[in-house]
Amino acid sequence: MKKTILLFTLSLVLINCKTAVKKEKTIGLVTQKAMVVSAREEASKIGTDILKKGGNAFDAMVATELALAVAFPYAGNIGGGGFMVYRKNDGEIGALDYREKAPLASSKDMFLDTDRNVIKGKSTFGSMAVGIPGTVAGVFEAHRKFGTLPMEEILQPVIELAKRGVIVTKKQEKRIQNFQSGFLKVNKDSILFNKNWKENDTIKYNALAATLTRIQKNGSDEFYKGETAEKLVSFIQANGGIMTLEDLAKYKAKWRTPITFNYDDLRIISMSPPSSGGICLAQIMNAIEPYDLDKFGHNSTKAIQVITEAERRAYADRSFFLGDPDFVKIPLKTLISKEYIAGRMNDFSFDKATKSEDVSHGSIKMTESDETTHYSIVDQFGNAISATTTINAGYGSKLYSSELGFFLNNEMDDFSSKTGVPNMFGLIGAKANEIAPEKRMLSSMTPTIVEKNGQLFMVVGTPGGSTIITSVLQTILNVHEYKMSMKEAVNASRFHHQWLPDNIKMEPDGFSTEIKTNLKNLGYNLDETNSPVIGKVAAILVLPNGKLEGGADKRGDDAAVGF
């Protein structure tokens, strides 16, 4: 008896100790009703102001996307494209594809020399790298279908921001400095960004303000058929590019069916092809679901092993099967089925790393009918939007129209220029993602919405090229498996594996020496030098009391704003 009491008391003391040392959660901004999280406070604020005026998430999407084009020229854009996934308050879901397309005059081998070698820089710098931009079509289409406030009213604060100018942050000062040689190499004349901009300077975007004012007046046609279209095509052709007025006139944003799947008690809604995001996320999450990740512990050796091996196999499939669904047949149902993934993980063992050279794409009978920024929005009506938009590399192709006031994307590099030759993210592609006129290049963008018990739970996404998918994955797992707050989940250290190259990219200083030694001993190659940061997540979590918590990544100038 005495012994029992002693044991009981001891365990109470232990429990108390455990509670006493349990770290307090670090919480992001919490608001009652509505929130926008994006890469710049100015954009989050403009989006939130639209909500305050009574606009819905779709109105706020237009405002935030275009405000990012002004405040975050590194990746925000009207010269690029993106994807948006939505979930309305009645549970209706959908996805909008405003991805760039290859020009009509493009061809499979356009980036190869006469010896069939990839010409360095042709798909990444200057006019040939540019895909037909989709952003303006995207925001107008979202607004046409679901918007409530007049477009003129939504665009007004964006135009005012461009005229008033945006304050340079420390991070932006560094970026502009780092990209000087690219700007000089690509542009014939000096551009707005060639100046030695310093932190706290204000950059005014008058040319962009004029372009946006014409769009405000004439609608989407201004960009695709009007004066802006004409100026854009002359500019690109004067710089040796192949975009034509016909290319612009033919561009249309497309509604797509999102990828959906379950993980434990969560339902994940994510982007469908031409992004690989939703399919790869589904494959990885299906592969890891049977393992006790929470018991293994966050970023523990075992958790990193399971996730890495699932990622290795998913990215091998990505490179073979995925491309624009309007051009290639994708065995989608099989790829995201639990059975198929279970088979792919059969040869995984905790004792030893699988070698990527021993992993190829899965064998599937084709019987089925083939620099970036993210923002997340929840409005006061309960509608949610997750949108990722890009011009690909930082400042895209570096080609900047001083007359129109924006950078052009270098999205053509997201195609596979040649089978087996890695693109700028080290991704290997094959036939499914080869270049063809009017085809959309494969993407990794993963705008995602998560439901729990049928209710909105999380809105999440990030930039980061090939690391987008795995950053979204880890953010969801951090909340679901490891019970982190939204802010903690977004800020936690990240790692990434993409089949080839066969190494685990890790954020430096994010992982203990013990974990790294364990992984090396198991045969994993670690790469801590190439990715000072992995992803820059912008997310919103619905708390059990219905309030919203923002996750604005510490890695950027990101900000959550709401009410």
Interface residues toward ligand DON, by CB under 6 A: 371-372, 390, 392, 411, 414, 443-445, 463-465, 468
Query: Minimal distance in Å, beta carbon 324 to ligand DON?
Result: 12
Contact 224, 136 (CB under 8 A): yes
Tokens of 511: 């992982």
**CB 403 → ligand DON: shortest distance, Å?**
25
The H or E element containing residue 121 is: none
Beta carbon nearer to ligand DON, 147 or 463: 463
Coil, helix or strand for 430? coil
**Closest approach of ligand DON to the CB of residue 536, in Å:** 8
Task: State how far the Cα of 201 lies from the Cα of 392, in Å rounded to an integer.
Answer: 26
Return the bridge partners of 496, or none: 505
Q: From the candidates 124, 211, 301, 372, give the one annotated as an active-site residue.
A: 372
Cα–Cα distance for residue pair 83/142, rounded to 1 Å: 11
Place of tokens 């053509």: 412
CA distances to 224, 374, 511, 544, 558 from 176, rounded to whole Å, are: 29, 20, 30, 42, 18
Q: Which is nearer to ligand DON, 39 or 479 (CB)?
A: 39
Q: How far is the CB of 174 from ligand DON (least distance, A)?
A: 15
Residue closer to ligand DON (CB basis): 391 or 506? 391
Closest distance to ligand DON from the beta carbon of 538 (Å)? 13
CA diameter of the chain = 92
Cα distance between residue 116 and residue 120, in whole Å: 12
Query: 30, 223, 237: which is closest to 141 by C-alpha?
Result: 223
Nearest approach in angstroms of CB 41 to ligand DON is: 20
CB of 392 to ligand DON, least distance (A): 4
For residues 290 and 532, which CB has a smaller minimum distance to ligand DON in the complex? 532
DSSP letter (8 states) at residue 127: G
The 8-class DSSP code of residue 122 comes to T
**Nearer residue to ligand DON within complex by CB, 73 or 382:** 73
Residue with tokens 């012994």: 3
Asked about 372 being catalytic, the answer comes back as yes
Cα separation values, 542 from 199, 254, 326, Å: 35, 29, 35
Nearer to ligand DON, 111 or 291 (CB): 111
Distant-in-sequence, close-in-space partners of 215: CB < 8 Å, separation ≥ 6: 136, 155, 222, 223, 228
R_g of the chain, CA atoms, integer Å: 23
Catalytically active residues, by annotation: 372
